[in-house]
Every structure is written in C-alpha cells, then in structure tokens.
Structure 1
Amino acid sequence: MNLPKKVRITEVGPRDGLQNEPINLPTAEKINLIKNLVQAGVKEIEATSFVHPKWTPNLADAEEVLEAVKDLPATLFALVPNARGYERAIKSGVHGVTFVLSATDSHSRKNLNRTTQDSITELKDLVARAKSDGFKIRASLSTVFGCPFEGNPGLDRILQVVDQLVNNGFERIGLCDTIGIAGPAQVYDWVTKIRKEFTGIDFELHFHDTYGRGLANVIAGLHAGIVAFDSSVGGLGGCPYAPGATGNISSEDLVDMLHNMGIETGIQIDGLIRASDALSREFQKPMDSQIWKVRKSGSAVK
C-alpha cells in the first residue's frame, strides 16, 4: 500500500467530545484531560469552543480552561463560529482558531443561524484578522459527505464552498463527516478530486463512527493522500444539531491502527488509555473505543 510515514492527529475530545455529553465535565477535570493528552504525546488539541454558552453550556468555562493549559507544550485550538466568538478567543491565550461553517444551508441555519454564504462572508474578514493577530487557523467544514436535513450535498457544492474558503485565505481545511454517513468509496473519490482541484491546501479529515465505517474511511483518506485527521479520546462526541450522529472516531483506535500499519503519530496508546480511564470514571460509563474495551476486559491482547 502507498502509505505515508507519519500522520498528524488533532485531538478534538476536549471540545467536540464534551460539548454534547449529558454530564458536564467539571472544569478541573477538563484541565486534567488536556494535561493527560499532552503527556500522551498529543501535539494539537482542540481545547474548547467560543460558541455562546447558551448553545454549548458544557464549554462555558472556556477562558478558565485555557488559562490553566495555555503554557503546555502543545498547540491549542478553540472553535470559533463568528466575530463575537473571535473577540473572546483573542483574550484567552489560545494558540489557534478553528473557524466552523456548514456545507449545507439547512445545517448552517440549525447550527449557526445563518446560511453557508453568510458564514463565508463573515469569515473572510476574520481570517485576515486572525493571520494579522498571529493565530494558526483552520476551517472546519461540516456535513461535507452528508447532511441530516438535505442528504448528500453533492461534490459540486463542496468544491464551490472550498473554492471560496481558499480564496478567503484558508490554507488548512477540515472536511467533516458530521453524521458519520460517508463510506470509503465516497471518501476516496471525493477527496482525490478535491485535492486535485486545490493543490497546496492542507486538507484534514474528521470522521464520526455512526455506521462503524470511521477507520475504513481513514484508510480511504490515506490512499487519497490525506496525512491529517481529527479524533476524540474515548470515541466521545456528537453534534447537537445533527440528529443521530454518534461519537468521533476514537483516538486510541486510530493511533493503534496507524501504528499497526507502520505509520508514526508521536502519540502513546497507554497515555490515551489513562485519559479515557479518567473520563470513564467521571461519566460513569464505558468508553466507545475498541482498544479501551480490550484493555479493560483484562485480555492479554495488547
């Protein structure tokens, strides 16, 4: 197989993983989670969100969390949906911002109360400002492979949105399977065509595991030339505005599979397991990670 030697993983558990949990993780435990992830070797973490606390109450302590972890040896991103969120971000000590938008108007209205085009228009000025302010930036484009309200948006729609993001100055763009509907054939076909159309752009893939195809989609992405993926410790995650969406692909499972394939990540499985152990105790439930379940079963398989 034609595979890369190394892959970049952005850990999104502290943001995407926690935002929709029925139990709010205490601030001190959020801080410990990020510290545990850094200790495991994670170099990029989406640490929190600057969405209005009314919509994501689980992340209302964003400033307090960032104040406690901003000096750790990792790049900390925060999700930012609009200008108001950006104003909070610049005061927080965060290192980078993930600007979020949806590929479909229906999801965009549910999630951000505006159309896709409205988001693109607002983000144009914010991207220029963020670069001037010295932030690392990336775009996170939701519902790329399927929308809970509109179904398949079509590749042409995605190409049009990506084209506008590139013209607005984004050089790093996440293609997100928000509801976990994608399959390997679609991922390989679409990503290959998108990368051919936009050479020089650092595309990332963000998969949810609703239908159990998350890791298969990672392999399809690798074959299509992708070397950067989002994942969530313990397989936590879900979007409050994407009915039926389950958690993200598990960081433990992703790292284990990549290491098994001879691909470096710089992340230690044992450290991720310890982070998931702490989450399991706090949430009083097992983690949605195959590797975690194997380890907790007492199996000799390592």
Structure 2
Amino acid sequence: MMDLEERITMTLSLPAKVRIVEVGPRDGLQNEPKYLPTDQKIELVRRLAAAGLTEIEVTSFTHPKWIPNLADAEEVTRAVADLPITPFALIPNRRGLDRAMAAGAKGVTLVVSVTDAHNTANLNRTTEASVTELLELEAEARQAGLKTRVSLSVVFGCPFDGAVAPEHVAQIASRFVEAGAPRIGLCDTIGVANPAQVHALSTLMLTRFPNTEFELHLHDTRGQALANTLAGLQAGIRSFDAAVGGLGGCPYAPGATGNSATEDVVAMLHAMDVATDVDPATLLDAAALLADWRDTPLDSAAWRIARSGGAACGTPAVRATA
C-alpha cells in the first residue's frame, strides 16, 4: 500500500522546469507612490539578470502623464542592452511600439483588457479598438525580430464588470492565435481568481489552442497567488510572470495589489524540485535594493524569512538592510 507522500506525488503532475518572466521593474514599480531613480532601476535589472532571470519587463512605453514612475523608459532600455537577457517593454499602442523599437527593446508585451470598461479606463478605447491595432503591431514586431507576448487583462474578473465568461476570453485569444501570436498571457489583474478557476481557464486555453504558449500573470490580492500558480502548473502552464518583492498593482484597476513575489514562486518551485535557473540568494539581493528604497515592507514571505535571519528552502540567510 502506498503511503500518503507517494499518493500525493502521483496526484501532482509537475514539470521538470518552468520559466519565470520578471515583471518587477515594470508592473512592480508602476503603481508605487515613491519614484525609484533611474540609476537604481538599472541596477535592479542588473541584479535580476545576475540572479538568472533571462526575460525581464524593464519598463513600459506608455505616456509619462499616465505612468510617471516609468517616464525614463528609453534611458532604462538603452542602459540594459548589454545584459544577457531579453528586455521586454509593455506597449499599449502604435506610439509605444515606435518608442520601444527606437530605444532598442528586444521584446514587447502588448496589452489589452478583455472588458470594455477596464480597457477604457486603462487605455481610453474599447477592447475591439485595441485588439484591431495590436494584431497589426504584434505581427510588425515579430517581423522586425522582436519577441512578442500578448497579455489579456482581467480574464478572471473585472473591477467594473465583475465575472468574465471563459468563452469570451477564448474568443479574443483566438484572434491572436489565428494571427500567429506565439505567447498569450492570462492575467488576474486584480487578484480575484481561485485555483479551480485558474485550472479551468488554463485547461480550456491549452486544449483549444495546443500550439500556443499560454502564460499566467497572477496577483496576490487575496493571498491565493501561490495556490493559483500550482493550479496553473497542474493544468499545463509552464511560464509565469512574477515581480521581485511582490510589488505591483494597476492604477486603473481599483483593488489591485501586488504581483506574485518572484522569490516566493521560486522558493515553492525549488522545494518541489521544479527548476527555474534562478538563484534564490542573488534574487534576494535584488529585493534588498527595493527594501532599502521603499517606505513600506516588501510583500514577500521569502524576504521576511531572510530578514529575520532564517533560511527558506535551502537558501542561506541574508542580511537585510531595510
């Protein structure tokens, strides 16, 4: 007879390795009340690259009036061009793509909300208007040799319209799939998803569009980000966005709080023998930069453990200066 651990191991279907896309320098900083100076943004990206993260959203090419914390997008993008990473930039429209390409971005994340209410609040246009433009821009970016990701926001719930039907999400995703977009992100923008919901939508997408890579972008508003990560893994998702320190939030999504903390996601995965190529100790060095700068504590259990002198999942304790 199998013991409990053997039964659990058989129940969990875990991959040997997953990809972590670091979004802290973009999504983590965009809603912070305090401005992180440009030289420190650049140093943050360098520390994240040193930790082994190879895809990093370094900024957003949105109008500085709307996201003042990322007004130095060109400078940051150019300053990290020498790193062995793909520096992604979030772009919402034609102007954003033009700026990103001129600055030397190697990858772009194109964003659209699946509800008109949130897309209008976020981008001042309907979902259909954004989709129409982004289909053209995504193809243009790929033709120019850039890596592309399409992020579908509020797929698990909208702060204005409430629940979102999975078939509605699939219909929008299908247009990008048919156009050849290789990667599509399913974003829990305000952190309302539960594990059953994440598993169901992820399974639907992977089954219906088997040749497309789907990614999860999760927020920890209700403390379910790690549980939702595990649900995504069980469904077959192999790429996850996360933000160092658990920072994040959208200025146009009431109630949204921080992203999945990169160090927490990595700690959980490594404890389950799922490889990420990310070094936990060096990652905490990147978190230390934010902790020294921020006026409030980081939203990361791994950081709190390290700061108290403990060690998580085999990671040596680090000296936190915050």
TM-score w.r.t. structure 2 length? Answer: 0.92
1:86 aligns with 2:97: yes
Indicate the percent of aligned positions where both proteins have the same amino acid: 56
- Cα deviation for residue 30 of structure 1 reads 0.1
- Which one has the largest radius of gyration? 2
**2:304 pairs with 293, 296, 299, which one?**
293
1:192 aligns with 2:203: yes
How far apart, in 2, do the equivalents of 1:128 and 1:266 lie? 30
- Cα deviation for residue 168 of structure 1 reads 2.5
RMSD over aligned Cα, in angstroms?
A: 0.9
Report the counterpart of residue 282 of structure 2 in structure 1: 271
Report the counterpart of residue 211 of structure 1 in structure 2: 222
Q: How does 1:65-144 map to 2 (within 5 A)?
A: 65-144=76-155
How far apart, in 2, do the equivalents of 1:271 and 1:300 lie? 14
* Residues paired across the two proteins, number: 302
Deviations 1:115-143 (A, max 9, x none): 11111101121122111211110101100
**2:30 pairs with 11, 15, 19, which one?**
19
How far apart, in 1, do the equivalents of 2:24 and 2:239 lie? 16
Give the partner amino acid of 2:166.
L
Q: For structure 2, which runs of at least 5 residues remain unmatched after alignment?
A: 1-11, 316-322
Q: Does structure 1 conserve the Cα–Cα contact (< 8 Å) formed by 2:205 and 2:214?
A: no
Report the counterpart of residue 178 of structure 1 in structure 2: 189
Moved more, 121-130 or 195-204: 121-130
Give the partner amino acid of 1:245.
A
Give the partner amino acid of 1:33.
L
1:33 aligns with 2:47: no
Secondary structure, counterpart of 1:220 in structure 2: helix
- Cα deviation for residue 248 of structure 1 reads 0.1
Q: For structure 1, which runs of at least 5 residues remain unmatched after alignment?
A: none
**2:212 pairs with 189, 196, 201, which one?**
201
Report the counterpart of residue 228 of structure 1 in structure 2: 239
Deviations 1:128-184 (A, max 9, x none): 211121111010110000000011111111111111111232110000000000000
TM-score w.r.t. structure 1 length? Answer: 0.98
Secondary structure, counterpart of 2:103 in structure 1: coil
How far apart, in 1, do the equivalents of 2:298 and 2:91 lie? 27
Deviations 1:43-66 (A, max 9, x none): 110000001111001001011111
Report the counterpart of residue 178 of structure 2 in structure 1: 167
